């Protein structure tokens, strides 16, 4: 799934889209888009009119009818092409995923303690609840949950990441996906999905667009477009008897024809956005797929665009995830170099990120490098949850490092006195949101190590950008309120939930939603499932439990908590793209109105010449120029529809005014220029002129 940036359109994708464009000409397919179905019917009607004209039954010149019919067919094909090229990207992804889905032979077992009783069955025959044994080099036959064992699993077929990940029973990393491969050890897996309903099957269906349903916003916009089209249809139909009556009163021939009115209807209807509407939605989902996020519905993408509150875990999202040694604080006159030496010695065998960070701090700030421990005859004391201390014994010396209360008890047991200055340092570190580790040597307190949650680089600026977007950020942490407050202030979040519990998260989401907010959050554990199910946008980590994945409406294949911010941007970009191109499409109608109507009725009403600002002296050239532009603008906007309108982190009012200028005013001006240029090209290549306006159509 992980997609590298490639050329916008490949040769294979282009050929596939061209083929699909013709396949989509089936009436049943066209009927799904009412606006473009009108163009389809218009193309069929003008084609029939041209055939009739060959037999002497014509309301306009045969050449003109043929030209209109051809251009209308191209308009339909261009709309199909836009949708097909958007779908093509998803189909290419789906083909890659199908390659990972194989019907393998599974080792079915009756229970974890009866691994020798293996029954070989096809993966397609597995049912929910079955137990399978998967060894090194074997493909996991179906989605499931590890109930026994721990192993490295290659998930590159799904995520695109080559590095294996650990999957083990219990905890939040027990879920496995069918189609991935075990690269070490053995796993006993309980199947959690029926055949054909696996995560991989859902991925294929979503990226291919087979299960894509129109979103509420998309449906609402389509209703608006249909309503506008009906209005323009009624207006256009009424023009024929009106024109016939006026021409009769003036003793002139009726300047309108069915062909001309059909072309006028197509130009005035919102065909541009009608042609691109489906492509915009498909492309939005494709951009999300390229970010390695699987959306279970288009509704969730749109909701992401409307989100105004983000709930973010502290660990791994706002902070690096591991506390780092920040500074050494000596007490009671202890030399800081003595403290650094003791802290380093006690941490040399500590393989935790915190322990390694102490060694790094001693090296970088005090020049203490590794030393030969063999000569010291050192004995290392590992950290345990019971003692809450670690340390080292060497050459008659004892060094201990650990939680303040644990070291206090150790010092008292050695007959020493706990330092008042140490207590003050510990309290000061806690108020700052840090974690204190006290270091003692031979029953005497030397000082305190300040462990700090390191805020990720650029996080504060990112939250400032979100604030400009009108999005409120809430940090969720299990820390105490004092620590949480300090980290929240440093990170620049708007609010925080300390000592968070599943019930607390759920209640917070409900309270926010009751106030009219749309809430997004991430989660990976079973305890996150209730809150994920309640959130408007719920992003479950791919490494998380099955319960979390089922509760979420999106799955992040990279399992990156920060991905939520990118999801919001993609959602907003989708809504902006749809809104901007709708504005552009409707604004286009103004220019096409001035292009066709004055040229069509100037003979009856000379006063309309004042509105003919493009100087189109022939109704036929005006109509041709307008419908050619109407077709070509669809092709011109396909890249924008697929890539999306660029989103900027600015206030909504400023963003709206900018887009109204670019796509509203631009949508009015652009057609005037383009139609005039097209008309000049028609005249240049056909000899059509004011003196001989109909020569091409004879």
pLDDT of 374 over the 80 cut: no
pLDDT in tens, 136-152: 888 888 888 888 888 88
Average pLDDT over residues 212-239: 84
Q: How would residue 698 be classed by pLDDT, with cut points 50, 70 and 90?
A: very low
Average pLDDT over residues 115-123: 87
698 vs 677, residue with greater confidence: 677
Sign of the CA dihedral 339, 340, 343, 345? negative
CA 432 to chain centre: 36
Per-range mean pLDDT, top range of 160-164, 528-532, 571-575, 605-609: 571-575
C-alpha span between 448 and 631 (Å, rounded): 73
Q: Tell me which residue has tokens 């006026």.
A: 246
What's the pLDDT score for residue 210? 46
What's the pLDDT score for residue 370? 62
Range with the poorest average pLDDT among 2-11, 88-97, 334-343, 484-493:
2-11
What's the pLDDT score for residue 692? 46
C-alpha span between 579 and 571 (Å, rounded): 13
Q: How would residue 81 be classed by pLDDT, with cut points 50, 70 and 90?
A: very high
Average pLDDT over residues 500-529: 86
Q: How would residue 633 be classed by pLDDT, with cut points 50, 70 and 90?
A: very high
94 vs 1, residue with greater confidence: 94
Average pLDDT over residues 232-249: 85
Q: End-to-end CA distance of the chain, in Å?
A: 57
What's the pLDDT score for residue 2? 46
pTM exceeds 0.75 for this model: no
Range with the poorest average pLDDT among 130-134, 332-336, 392-396, 494-498:
392-396
pLDDT of 5 over the 50 cut: no
Collapsing DSSP states into helix, strand and coil, what is residue 519?
strand
Average pLDDT over residues 69-94: 86
What's the pLDDT score for residue 249? 79
pLDDT of 524 over the 80 cut: no
CB 365 within 8 A of CB 337: no
C-alpha dist (Å) from residue 22 to 229, 648, 676? 25, 38, 31
Q: What is the pLDDT of the chain when averaged over all its residues?
A: 82
What's the pLDDT score for residue 685? 65
CB 391 within 8 A of CB 381: yes
Provide φ and ψ at 150, rounded to 5°: -145, 140
Q: How would residue 80 be classed by pLDDT, with cut points 50, 70 and 90?
A: very high
C-alpha dist (Å) from residue 288 to 4, 72, 176, 571, 647? 13, 34, 22, 9, 15
Average pLDDT over residues 308-325: 79
Active site residues: 313
pLDDT in tens, 406-424: 899 988 888 888 888 998 9
What's the pLDDT score for residue 39? 95
pLDDT of 643 over the 70 cut: yes
CB 473 within 8 A of CB 312: yes
Half-sphere exposure for 134 (CA within 13 Å, toward CB)? 41
pLDDT in tens, 425-443: 988 887 777 788 999 998 8
pLDDT of 575 over the 80 cut: yes
pLDDT of 246 over the 70 cut: yes
Provide φ and ψ at 204, rounded to 5°: -60, -45
Average pLDDT over residues 349-367: 81
What's the pLDDT score for residue 512? 92
What's the pLDDT score for residue 417? 84
Average pLDDT over residues 348-360: 79
Q: How would residue 610 be classed by pLDDT, with cut points 50, 70 and 90?
A: confident
What's the pLDDT score for residue 367? 80
Residue among 85, 72, 81 nearest 38 (CA) = 72
What's the pLDDT score for residue 6? 44
Provide φ and ψ at 93, rounded to 5°: -65, -40
476 vs 12, residue with greater confidence: 476
What's the pLDDT score for residue 630? 92
194 vs 227, residue with greater confidence: 227
CA 574 to chain centre: 9
Per-range mean pLDDT, top range of 68-77, 428-437, 504-513: 68-77
The two three-digit tokens of residue 468, written as one number: 């400009």
The CA radius of gyration of the chain, in Å to the nearest whole number, is 35
Proportion of the chain above pLDDT 90, given as a percent: 19
pLDDT of 688 over the 50 cut: no
Contacts of 352 by beta carbon, 8 Å cutoff, 6+ apart: 383
C-alpha dist (Å) from residue 277 to 32, 41, 281, 643? 12, 19, 7, 14
pLDDT of 205 over the 60 cut: yes
What's the pLDDT score for residue 447? 92
């Amino acid at each position: 799934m992980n997609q590298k940036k490639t050329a916008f359109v490949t040769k294979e994708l282009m050929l596939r889209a061209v083929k699909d464009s013709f396949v989509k000409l089936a009436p049943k397919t066209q009927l799904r888009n009412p606006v473009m179905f009108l163009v389809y019917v218009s193309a069929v009607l003008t084609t029939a009119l041209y055939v009739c004209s060959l037999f002497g039954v014509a309301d306009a010149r045969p050449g003109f009818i043929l030209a209109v019919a051809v251009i209308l067919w191209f308009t339909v094909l261009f709309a199909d092409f836009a949708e097909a090229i958007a779908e093509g990207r998803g189909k290419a992804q789906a083909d890659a995923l199908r390659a990972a889905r194989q019907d393998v032979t599974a080792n079915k077992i009756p229970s974890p303690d009866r691994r020798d009783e293996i029954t070989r069955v096809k993966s397609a025959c597995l049912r929910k609840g079955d137990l399978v044994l998967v060894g090194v080099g074997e493909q996991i036959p179906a989605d499931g949950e590890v109930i026994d064992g721990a192993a490295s699993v290659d998930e590159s077929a799904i995520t695109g990441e080559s590095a294996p990940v650990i999957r083990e029973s219990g905890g939040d990393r027990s879920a496995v996906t069918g189609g991935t491969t075990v690269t070490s050890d053995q796993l006993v897996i309980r199947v959690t999905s029926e055949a054909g309903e696996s995560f991989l099957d859902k991925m294929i269906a979503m990226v291919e667009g087979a299960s894509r349903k129109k979103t509420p916003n998309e449906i609402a916009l389509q209703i608006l477009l249909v309503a506008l089209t009906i209005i323009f249809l009624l207006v256009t139909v009424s023009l024929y008897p009106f024109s016939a009556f006026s021409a009769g009163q003036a003793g002139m021939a009726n300047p309108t024809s069915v062909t001309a009115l059909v072309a006028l209807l197509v130009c005035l209807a919102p065909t541009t956005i009608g042609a691109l509407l489906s492509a915009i939605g498909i492309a939005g989902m494709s951009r999300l797929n390229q970010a390695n996020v699987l959306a279970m519905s288009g509704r969730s993408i749109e909701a992401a665009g409307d989100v105004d509150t983000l709930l973010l875990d502290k660990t791994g999202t706002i902070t690096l995830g591991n506390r780092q040694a920040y500074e050494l604080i000596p007490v009671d006159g202890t030399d800081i170099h003595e403290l650094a030496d003791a802290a380093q010695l006690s941490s040399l065998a500590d393989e935790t990120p915190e322990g390694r960070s102490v060694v790094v701090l001693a090296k970088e700030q005090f020049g203490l490098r590794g030393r030969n421990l063999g000569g010291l005859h050192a004995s290392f004391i590992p950290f345990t949850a019971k003692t809450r201390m670690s340390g080292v014994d060497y050459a008659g010396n004892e060094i201990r490092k650990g939680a303040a209360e644990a070291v206090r008890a150790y010092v008292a047991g050695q007959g020493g006195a706990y330092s008042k200055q140490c207590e003050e340092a510990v309290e000061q570190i806690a108020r700052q949101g840090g974690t204190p580790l006290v270091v003692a040597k031979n029953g005497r307190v030397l000082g305190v190590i300040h462990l700090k949650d390191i805020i990720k680089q650029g996080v504060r600026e990112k939250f400032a950008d979100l604030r400009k977007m009108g999005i409120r950020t809430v940090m969720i942490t299990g820390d105490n309120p004092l620590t949480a407050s300090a980290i929240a202030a440093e990170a620049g979040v708007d609010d925080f939930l300390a000592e968070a519990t599943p019930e607390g998260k759920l209640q917070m989401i409900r309270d926010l939603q009751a106030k009219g907010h749309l809430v997004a959050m991430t989660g990976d554990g079973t305890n996150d499932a209730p809150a994920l199910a309640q959130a408007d946008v719920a992003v479950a980590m791919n490494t998380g439990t099955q319960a979390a994945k089922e509760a979420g409406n999106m799955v992040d294949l990279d399992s990156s908590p920060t991905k939520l911010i990118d999801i919001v941007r993609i959602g907003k970009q989708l809504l902006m793209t749809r809104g901007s191109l709708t504005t552009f499409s409707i604004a286009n109608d103004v220019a096409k109105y001035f292009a066709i109507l004055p040229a069509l009725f100037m003979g009856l009403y000379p006063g309309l010449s004042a509105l003919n600002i493009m100087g189109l002296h022939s109704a036929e050239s005006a109509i041709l120029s307008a419908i050619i532009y109407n077709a070509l603008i669809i092709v011109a906007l396909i890249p924008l529809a697929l890539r999306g309108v660029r989103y900027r982190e600015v206030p909504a009012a400023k963003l709206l005014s900018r887009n109204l200028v670019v796509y509203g005013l631009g949508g009015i001006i652009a057609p005037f220029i383009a139609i005039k240029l097209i008309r000049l090209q028609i005249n240049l290549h056909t000899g059509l002129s004011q003196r001989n306006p109909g020569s091409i159509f004879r």
